[in-house]
Amino acid sequence: RRRLDEVETALAARVETSQETERRYRAASASLAAAEASATELRAALSAAATENEKKEIELVRLRRHLLDMEEEDDTKADAVEEHVAAVEDQHRAEIGSKDVALKAAEREILVMREAMSAKDAECANLQLALECFNNEVDASERRVAEAAALREKNRALAAELAAANRAAVTAEEKAAAAAAALGV
């Protein structure tokens, strides 16, 4: 723009020069007989100034067009950068959302596993108590001996289920910790 202002200032100066030349030409035409050679010279200078003025006008138009092209290119680049930033932000939001969902699912799974573990612990405690009572009555009846064996087998199965539930709970806690670490929690 400074260059444009300089060109316009130079152009204005040229226009003023052209106007001054025309004034001289009018003064010289009053004494035409004495200054015919001088008038021809002034006509040539006026023509040259007009040509120069026209060149400056063309250059000014070219510079303005170039400036507009540069501004348009800058606007296009800025739009592209804004679109890229928006896309990256959307992607990050989606990633955070999916990690939040995974974390909540892992937390729900841990809660379910803990509840199942508590239920299995209570059932195991009840079965152990029943087994203990049953062992005291083993001598009373052979039927009770068979039931005691069945209770022992069930206790083993529940202990295995409890161990499996404990392993599943540990796995779920590790998943939740990994999800929390991925979120930076």
Tell me which of 19-23, 100-104, 158-162 is least confident: 19-23
175 versus 33: the higher-pLDDT residue is: 175
Q: Specify the pTM.
A: 0.33
38 versus 74: the higher-pLDDT residue is: 74
The pLDDT of residue 157: 93
Q: How far apart are CA 56 and CA 14, in angstroms?
A: 9
Mean of the pLDDT values across residues 122-148? 74
Share the mean pLDDT of the chain. Answer: 81
CA proximity to 107, closest of 174, 183, 185: 174
Altogether, the residues listed in the chain come to a count of: 185
Mean of the pLDDT values across residues 73-98? 89
